[in-house]
């Protein structure tokens, strides 16, 4: 693992896009299997109706699965956000929370699905809940995971037949 959880927790909380929206990391477990973030309703993160701005709700979920999976897998893997969508279910009119969990056996599943250089695209559902426990929004996130190509066993070069030349991409 590249970072200590407490350092990443504070670094992400101070990252300008999250800091500016008032998003705080409340918990990030040292094994990077669980995180919880909070956003209080403030004048700078509400819309014209006095409710949580949708972009801030969306931003609450942005970096966490990529960071958690990256830290669990280490430097041998490429991990990126691929797609995400949000379904707004109820106006956010109080403090909201989102929790992120990596399921038991997830890392083993990633390694099995990417061992030959294949990409793996797991989906995660994130529920954003208010202080009453009601779901305010549901975010579906897909991340891209692939083992770095430099770590895969090199493929044997195709054999040339006698008198045959290889085509060049440069002409």
Q: What is the CATH number of the domain that holds 11?
A: 3.10.129.10
Write the pLDDT tens digit of every residue in 123-165. 999 999 999 999 999 999 999 999 998 666 655 555 555 554 4
Confidence of residue 171 (pLDDT cuts 50, 70, 90): very low
Number of domains in the chain: 1
Does residue 64 sit within a domain?
A: yes
Could you give the CA distance from residue 67 to residue 33 in angstroms, rounded to a whole number? 10
Does residue 161 sit within a domain?
A: no
Mean pLDDT, range 80-92, rounded to an integer: 97
Assess contact for 1 and 71: CB atoms under 8 A: yes
Assess contact for 137 and 111: CB atoms under 8 A: no
Does residue 98 sit within a domain?
A: yes
SS3 helix, strand, coil % of the chain, rounded to 5? 25, 30, 40
Could you give the CA distance from residue 66 to residue 142 in angstroms, rounded to a whole number? 10
Does residue 16 sit within a domain?
A: yes
């Amino acid at each position: 693992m590249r970072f200590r959880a407490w350092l990443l927790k504070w670094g992400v909380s101070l990252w300008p896009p999250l800091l500016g929206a008032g998003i705080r990391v409340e918990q990030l477990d040292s094994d990077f299997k669980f995180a919880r973030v909070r956003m209080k309703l403030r004048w700078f993160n509400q819309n014209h109706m006095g409710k949580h701005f949708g972009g801030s709700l969306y931003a609450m979920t942005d970096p966490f699965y990529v960071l958690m999976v990256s830290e669990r897998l280490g430097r041998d893997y490429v991990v990126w956000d691929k797609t995400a969508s949000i379904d707004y279910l109820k106006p956010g009119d109080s403090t909201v929370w989102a929790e992120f969990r990596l399921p038991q056996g997830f890392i083993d599943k990633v390694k099995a699905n990417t061992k030959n250089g294949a990409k793996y695209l797991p989906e995660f559902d994130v529920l954003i809940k208010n202080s009453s426990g009601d779901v305010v929004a549901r975010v579906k996130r897909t991340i891209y995971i692939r083992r770095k190509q430099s770590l895969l066993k090199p493929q044997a070069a195709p054999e040339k037949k006698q008198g045959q030349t290889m085509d060049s991409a440069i002409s």
